[in-house]
């Protein structure tokens, strides 16, 4: 993909860091997050609770004003840096250019005013409209959002509406000034599945009807698959993986993404007795390892993951797949996870850790102690030996030898054929 894309992205976030100071300690919440959203694109921001999704959105909106919170980085939106704007400039942008929808429509409206009053208020804050004009527009918006009897609904109080209606009203309010970017912070979490589907449908249609880009924050992979063009997986305040949704779901590159996908019940095939779960819990912000934050829970931890954070990916161009720690090819896809362990655990062997190795399509496997001790691996891999491994057939390129011919710390394999997985031996 060429580096000079024809139109610059609508929002280009670079190296966003959010941290706060507590008892003299600086606690990082979001670290070096970079992403971009193009015109009319829907970007999904996925992660567990506490991974920093909402904080990212709040930082972009300039809504974090708690004392001791430090936001750094760069967020170019339509030519201006969001993080460097004054309060007044930011206010003019909020609600007009960037609008936000919140998770819980039950508490997001001021309880003492009617829905219509609150939408009018936003309209009149940014446009010079008379009361009557504002109300006409409000009713129109509510109607477009699929609210039945919009003129009457506008005169109702938030508590008189159902959750779905409230979220529609929320979206209507967010869209009232035709924002170019809509940040939706878990817009469907508090809703039941049918309403959720309707709301998602509504959001997908926004880009054609309103030309809006959407930053969709969610922890629901299903929502992402259904809605987003591209996806950014966040783990413990750091980007784990980014790419187009299609690509990311088909070939997850980061073990965390793969594990997340693996924990979704399969729609076809035999029903698993237990869904795979990721053991452990995300680290507390202060206890994040220096290396890959996921390393303590990862089955594929490699020595090179531990000492330093994963290499920051070069921003070549938008939509290019830039995994944080995995090879470009040779995929630890969810289905490959279990057999991989099985295959390699039968005998003294190399612990499978697919590691990025330069630009070649080869994989480095870390050896476990037994293998390192020279007892052999995969029936004594020799140079030019072919081995069946997850993801295809591999040819041993070389061993990483260390002190003595019999022992090695790693082996390097080259994929020679992408075939079916061998049955677990």
Partner 1 sequence: MIMPLLRRLGQTVFVLFGISALVFAVFFATPGADPTARIAGRNAAPQTMEKVRKEYGFDRPLPVQYAIMMKKLFITRDLASYANRGELVVPEIMRAAPVTLSLVSGAAVIWVVLSIGMGVVAAACKGSWIDRTLMMAGLVGISIPVFWLGQVVNLITQNRYHDTWLFSWVPGLGYVPFTQSPCGWFLALVIPWCVLAVMFVGIYSRILRADLVAIMGEDFIRTARAKGLSPTRILLRHGLRTALITFVSLFGMDFAQLVGGGALLTEVVFGLPGVGRLTYQALNSLDLPLIMATVMYSAVFVVLANALVDAAYLFLDPRVRDAH
**Closest to partner 1 by CB, 167 or 257:** 167
Output the smallest distance, CB 102 to partner 1, in A. 6
**In the chain, what is the straight-line distance between the N-terminal and C-terminal CA atoms, in Å?**
42
**Closest to partner 1 by CB, 141 or 298:** 141
**Closest to partner 1 by CB, 34 or 103:** 103
Output the smallest distance, CB 96 to partner 1, in A. 6
Helix H or strand E encompassing 115: helix 115-126
Count CB-CB contacts under 10 A for residue 322.
19
- Do residues 255 and 279 make contact, with C-beta atoms less than 8 angstroms apart? no
CA distances from 214 to 9, 61, 247 (A): 13, 14, 19
**Closest to partner 1 by CB, 174 or 259:** 174
Token pair, residue 162, equals 């159902």
Phi and psi angles of residue 361, each rounded to the nearest 5 degrees, phi first: -90, 40
Q: Which residues bind partner 1 (CB under 8 A)?
A: 61, 63, 67, 91-96, 99-100, 102, 104, 107-114, 121-122, 125-126, 157, 159-160, 170, 173
Output the smallest distance, CB 125 to partner 1, in A. 5
Q: Alpha carbon 241 to chain centroid distance?
A: 7
Output the smallest distance, CB 42 to partner 1, in A. 19
Given the structure tokens 């878990």, which residue do they identify? 186
Q: Is residue 243 helix, strand or coil?
A: strand
Output the smallest distance, CB 167 to partner 1, in A. 12
Helix H or strand E encompassing 423: none
Beta bridge partners of 412: 364, 398
**Closest to partner 1 by CB, 27 or 90:** 90
Output the smallest distance, CB 57 to partner 1, in A. 10
Output the smallest distance, CB 64 to partner 1, in A. 11
Longest dimension (CA), the chain: 86
**Closest to partner 1 by CB, 25 or 160:** 160
Per DSSP, the residues of 386-420 read EEEETTEEEEEEEEEE-SSSS-EEEEEEEEEE--P
Token pair, residue 362, equals 């080869």
**Closest to partner 1 by CB, 114 or 230:** 114
**Closest to partner 1 by CB, 166 or 297:** 166
Burial of 157 (0-12, 13-18, 19+ CB in 10 A): middle
Residue 381: which of 405, 401, 364, 399 has the closest Cα? Answer: 399
Output the smallest distance, CB 112 to partner 1, in A. 6
The percent of the chain in helix, strand and coil, each rounded to the nearest 5, is 30, 25, 45
């Amino acid at each position: 993909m060429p580096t000079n894309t024809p139109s610059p992205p609508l929002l280009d976030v670079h190296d966003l860091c959010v941290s706060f100071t507590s008892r003299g300690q600086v606690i990082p919440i979001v670290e070096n997050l970079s992403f971009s959203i193009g015109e009319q694109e829907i970007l999904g921001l996925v992660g567990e609770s506490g991974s920093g999704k909402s904080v990212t959105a709040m930082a972009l909106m300039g809504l974090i004003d708690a004392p001791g919170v430090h936001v750094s980085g760069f967020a170019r939106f339509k030519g201006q840096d969001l993080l460097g704007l004054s309060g007044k400039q930011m206010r003019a942008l909020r609600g007009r250019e960037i609008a936000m929808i919140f998770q819980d429509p039950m508490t997001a409206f001021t309880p003492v005013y009617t829905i219509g009053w609150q939408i009018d208020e936003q309209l009149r804050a940014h446009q010079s409209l008379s009361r009557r004009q504002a109300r006409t527009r409000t009713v129109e918006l509510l109607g477009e959002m699929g609210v039945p009897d919009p003129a009457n609904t506008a005169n109702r109080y938030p508590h008189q509406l159902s959750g779905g209606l409230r979220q529609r009203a929320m979206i209507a309010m967010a869209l009232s000034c035709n924002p170019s970017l809509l940040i939706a912070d878990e817009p469907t979490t508090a809703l039941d599945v049918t309403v959720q589907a309707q709301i998602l449908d509504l959001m997908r249609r926004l880009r054609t009807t309103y030309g809006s880009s959407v930053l969709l924050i969610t922890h629901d992979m299903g929502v992402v698959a259904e809605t987003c063009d591209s996806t950014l997986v966040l783990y413990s305040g750091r980007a784990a993986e980014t790419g187009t949704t299609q690509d990311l779901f088909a070939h997850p590159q980061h073990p965390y993404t793969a594990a997340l996908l693996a924990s979704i019940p399969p729609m076809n095939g035999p029903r698993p007795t237990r869904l795979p779960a990721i053991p452990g819990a995300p680290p507390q912000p202060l206890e994040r390892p220096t290396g890959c934050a996921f390393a303590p829970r990862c089955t594929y931890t490699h020595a090179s993951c531990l000492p330093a954070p994963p290499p920051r990916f070069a921003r070549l161009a938008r939509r290019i797949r830039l995994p944080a720690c995995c090879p470009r090819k040779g995929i630890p896809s969810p289905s490959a996870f279990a057999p991989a362990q099985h295959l390699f655990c039968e005998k003294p062997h190399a612990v499978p850790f697919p590691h990025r190795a330069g630009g070649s399509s080869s994989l480095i496997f870390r050896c476990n102690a037994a293998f390192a001790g020279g007892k052999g691996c995969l029936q004594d891999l020799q140079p030019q030996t072919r081995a069946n491994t997850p993801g295809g057939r591999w040819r041993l390129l070389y061993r990483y030898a260390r002190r003595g011919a019999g022992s090695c710390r790693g082996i390097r394999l080259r994929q020679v054929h992408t075939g079916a997985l061998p049955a677990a031996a």
